[in-house]
Every structure is written in C-alpha cells, then in structure tokens.
Amino acid sequence: MLVFAFDRDWTVDVNPHPRHDAVPLEWVRHLAHESPHAVYAIGNQTLADEAAIPGVVDVVGRHSDDWAEWLGEKQPDGRYEQFPLRRERLSLIADLHPDADGYVVVDDLDLSDVDGWEHYHAWDFVPAVERGEIHPDLPWVRDPVTDGGLPSSAGVMPANASMLSSFLDEHGDAPGFELTYVDDGVERTQLCHDVSLHAVTLERPSAAPALQCTPLALDSDQFTVRVDAIELLSVVDPPPNLYTAGAETPVEEAIGLRRLADTHPDAVRISSLLALLDREDKDLIRDKDAVQALRRVAMVRPEDCTPAIPILRSLLARDELPARADVVATLRAIGDTDPEAIAPLTDELVPFLQSDVVSVRREATRCIAAIADEYPGDAVDAVPALATIVEDEAGGLQYAVYALSRITREYPEEVKPVAETLGEVILRDSLSDGVRLNATAGLGRIVGEYPSIGVEIVDDVATLFDAGNPKLRNNAIGLIGDVATVHTDVVEPYTEDITALLTVDDTYTRINASGALSRVAEDFPDSVDPVTPTFVELLSDENPLVRENACWALGHLCARDATSVLKDLARGDDNADVRTRASWALAQINNGDQRDE
C-alpha cells in the first residue's frame, strides 16, 4: 500500500498550472475509493470535498490527544486557532501508516526535503504514473514505446558490455529487439530478430566490445555495433507480417517463417510451409528452415500439422534429408496427440532407431513409443531395434523400454526373444524407477504367458523385494508369482523373503505375495507351514483377493487352526469367490484329517 498526499491548486486539474500538466481529479478519486492506497488532501482543503478524501482536520482527529496542539479551538468563522504546516501535515499522515510501502506527495511546492516522502510536481507525477514508476498496477500505466513505435517491455542504455550482457541474459527469450545506435554521427534504429554479444570482441582485449545483430528484414545482412555506440536496446514484439515482408525468394520466405515460428507459432500458416516443402526443386537450406518452422508449430499446434504427414514421409525417403531430427520430431509431436496418424509410418521410422545421431534416434524412439501405446501391432516390427537401444544403453532408452512394455500387452510372444534385455533393465539402479517399472511390467506379461522365461531371472528380480518404490516391489513379486504358477521349486527358496511382504501397507503387494506363496504351499507345504498364522490373519484383510489367496494357502496347508474362521467366511463373506474358496479350503482340511485317521 502507498500513501498519497495531494495539494489542490496548480496540482489537480480543478485548478491546473497554466503551463503544465495537472493530475486528473478522477485519478485522485480512483486512488482513494477503488484502490488499496491511502489518499489525503494536504493543501487547499476544498479538494477534500471534491475528491471525498480526508483532509487535515481528519488527520489531526486521528491524533485526538494532540488536537489542542495542532488545531486549538474552532473560531466563529469556522477556522481553527492554528493549523499544522505543510511538512507537519505529512509527518502526521505518515504516523497513521507506519507499515506503508511508500509515501508520495504531489504538490507545486518543493517538499523533497521531507524525510521518507517522495515529492513530485504534478507535471512530473503524471508521466511517472504512466511509465509505471509509481506503481505498476495503476490503471493509467501505459506500455512503454520505443523510438520505432513498437511497444516495449524492457530496455537498457548500456554503460558497458557487462551491463548489456546482464540484460541479454534476462531477456534471452525475447521475440525481438529494437536497437537505436549512432553510426558515423547519425542516429539509426534497426528492428532485429536476434542480438548477442560478439564473442570475438570479448575475447580480444584490444577489441572494443560489440553487439552482433540479425535484422528482422530479410533483405538486410548481419551487422555489428560497438557497445559504446548503443543508445537504447529495447525488447519488442514485432507484428507477424514483418517476418516475411520483403521476402523475394522461397529461401527468404522460409527464413522468415522459421523466425516467426520461433516467436509466434500460432501465426504461421501451415499451408505456406507445405508449399515450400512440396516444391519440385530441392534446396536443402530452404527445406531445412521450413522443416524447423514446422517442428516449432507442431509443438503447440500438432493437430494442425497432420496434413504435413505425406510430405514428411517423402522427406524420410530422401537420401539427403534436411534437418533429419526436426522431421522426426515433427512426426513425434503429431503422434503424441494422434498416434493413429503416424502409425502407418512405422516401417519408415524403424531405420532411424539405429541412427548415430542421438537426437534423431531419440525422436524416432518416441514416435514408436507413441504408436505402441495405442497400436502395439503396428510397432511389432520395431522390437529388435528397440531391444538394441536398450542393450546399448543408447539415447532414447526410456522410450524403448516403454514401447516394449506396451507391445507386451497384446503381443508378449513378439517381445519374448528380448525378455533377457528387459531383465537387465530391472537391475540397473542408475535408471529411474519409471523405466524399471515399465521393464518389470513388460517382463511380467511375458512371464505370465511363458513362466519358464522367468526361471533364470528369479534371483535378480528377488532383489527388488525391498525396493523403496512400492510399485516396483509389487511388479517384482507379481512376476515371481507368475513364475510360481509352473516353477514353484524356483520360488520356494524365497519363501521367507516373500512372507515379509504379506503384511505391508500396499494392497497390490499383499495380493501378489499371498498369491505366490499359495502356489508354493501346494508343492512345498512344509516350507510355507510356518506362515500359517499370518495367512489366518489375512483372512480378515480388507481386500477380497488377499482373503481368497489366504484360503488357497490354508487349504493346501490343511491348516486346522483356521477352520473356525474359514467357516465364517464360507457362510458370510461379502465376496462370492472368497466364500467358494473358503469352502474348498475346509474340504481340503477335512480330507487331510480323514487321511490322517
């Protein structure tokens, strides 16, 4: 909050200075009644009535103990015996607002000597408000304007290269710059797409620091300006039409569209880019700029770029592919929102999974991952190349693992030959939990269909039983459970380790752990028998699958101690499967008792 104190005469427009700007009365009223700021009349008290703001008497009234000192008795003519001086009035006002962010007095008298108050004449106050110097949120603040007439959000008059460097670091993502400088005694203004400090001039002590500038105008060449010749460098946002204005060749048009896509991707016409890329004459420079522009547009408008797919497909087939990474990245951006649109391009994309260029390989892998997510059948042919990326720990590994995992949802047999590769991923502590989760999920689906695949990796997977991530731990025990459907002998040695997971807070881990041990209990009841009390407790678990698995285990163990609870479940459990399995367990126990007799 700010505190404002306004004089009236030669300050507010009800009685303005004959040769200077005045503060509009409406401003005073707005500050007083439509903003959080405090406003007072300190000169001619008529302003207090005109603006409906507190005046000097009101201020003194808030210092009631000092009334006699400042005002005394009211006289027959309506005046008081005495009145605080102008500077005393400011002191009284400041005492009322000790926590204010600032104090501003607007008066034709010079009050700049009053401690704590910032003084303005009206003709200085009005432009200061419009420049945002008083408070940036005031409604009268105008966008600053550069000498060239474009609105500017920031500017600098650099005293040295260090000051200019700091400004450029702060505004490195600016859409454009307007540069005013002196050249042979003549002041010039140039609209620039990009500016940067000239590295060579900074490295040579004998050279004067200079700014390297790329004009927005397509018919202008790059130029340099000495820092000490710069009068003003402003951040501006050039109108979109200026980017291609004056383009005389397709090459120049492509440059302009690429620059426009850098700053205003929403303003780029896709048809203009497609017309450049669909020309019969091949020009690598032109096509590179057009493809780079298309990629930037696709990042924010992927659905609008779908018509570009046939042209992008033809570019993939060219021997000399301009901006190869940008072509593939554009397809990836489209595929992220519409995988069906790029699914037919799988055959063209697979070779790029083996690219030596990291960015190309990564973007191609992301394309295949997007396709595999929705259309795993279209990505099946990419499995060997995806596995190679994982084995080589190459760029795009996380997307390759994701793609393989998604393919296993419908085609586990296609990923079965590279199951060992996914198993190796599980053990890499250096990889993120997300990558390892995808690997365990994919491997789990393969083992679910082909349990024997998991036999060789049980020892490795068991190391995840104490993983900090519950999802990773759950996937691991789920995979072990799948192995146990056929190879309980391989899982039996881990009975004690699995037992520890029966009582963890994670429901899915309890489901998978109880399922795994219930299978082991069938073939190795002696190994699981010590866990009987825990299984009895699990009969009251909140999850019906855990209760059902506990029934399985207790039935295999012929656990007589569980008979009473099993009878209760058989009669009254809410879940039909649990009731059925409890009845089965009771039958198993009864059969066991008969055999013992």
At residue 143, the pLDDT reads 64
Residue 593, pLDDT above cutoff 60: no
Amino acid at 283: D
Domains of the chain: 2-130 (3.40.50), 152-238 (2.30.30.520), 245-327 (no CATH), 494-597 (1.25.10.10)
Q: Specify the range with the lowest mean pLDDT, choosing from 148-157, 461-470, 516-525.
A: 148-157
224 by DSSP, 3-state: which? Answer: strand
Per the CB < 8 A criterion, the answer to whether 174 and 259 are in contact is no
Residue 303, pLDDT above cutoff 90: yes
51 by DSSP, 3-state: which? Answer: helix
Strand order in the sheet with 2-6: 38-41, 2-6, 102-106, 118-120
Q: What is the Cα–Cα distance from 76 to 55, expressed in whole angstroms?
A: 20
Question: What CA–CA distances, in Å, run from 524 to 143, 482, 493, 528, 557?
Answer: 81, 17, 10, 7, 9
Secondary structure in 3-state letters for 285-325: HHHHHHHHHHHHHHHHCHHHHHHHHHHHHHHHCCCCCCCHH
What percentage of residues in the chain have a pLDDT greater than 90? 72
For residue 462, the number of C-alpha atoms closer than 13 Å in the C-beta half-sphere is 20
Q: Specify the range with the lowest mean pLDDT, choosing from 65-69, 129-133, 419-423.
A: 65-69
120 by DSSP, 3-state: which? Answer: strand
For residue 460, the number of C-alpha atoms closer than 13 Å in the C-beta half-sphere is 18
| DSSP structure class, residue 394 | -
Q: What is the Cα–Cα distance from 583 to 570, expressed in whole angstroms?
A: 5
For residue 358, the number of C-alpha atoms closer than 13 Å in the C-beta half-sphere is 5
Among 350, 345, 383, 344, which Cα is nearest to 364's?
Answer: 350
| DSSP structure class, residue 406 | H
Residues in Cβ contact with 157 at an 8 Å cutoff, skipping those fewer than 6 apart: 230, 231, 232, 233
Amino acid at 285: I
Per the CB < 8 A criterion, the answer to whether 360 and 328 are in contact is yes
Residue 574, pLDDT above cutoff 90: yes
pLDDT tens, 165-186? 999 999 988 999 999 999 988 8
Structure tokens at 344: 């037919």
Q: Tally the residues of the chain.
A: 597
pTM: 0.67
Residue 552, pLDDT above cutoff 90: yes
At residue 597, the pLDDT reads 45
pLDDT tens, 234-247? 999 888 888 998 88
Q: What is the mean pLDDT of the chain?
A: 91
At residue 148, the pLDDT reads 62
Q: What is the Cα–Cα distance from 7 to 436, expressed in whole angstroms?
A: 72
| Degrees to nearest 5, angle at CA 80 with 78 and 84 | 140
Per the CB < 8 A criterion, the answer to whether 346 and 309 are in contact is no
Q: Report phi then psi at 393, rounded to 5.
A: 50, 45
At residue 585, the pLDDT reads 95
Q: What is the Cα–Cα distance from 108 to 113, expressed in whole angstroms?
A: 14
Helix, strand, coil: what percent of the chain each, to 5? 60, 10, 30
What percentage of residues in the chain have a pLDDT greater than 70? 97
Strands in 141-218 per DSSP E:
152-156, 176-183, 186-197, 210-215
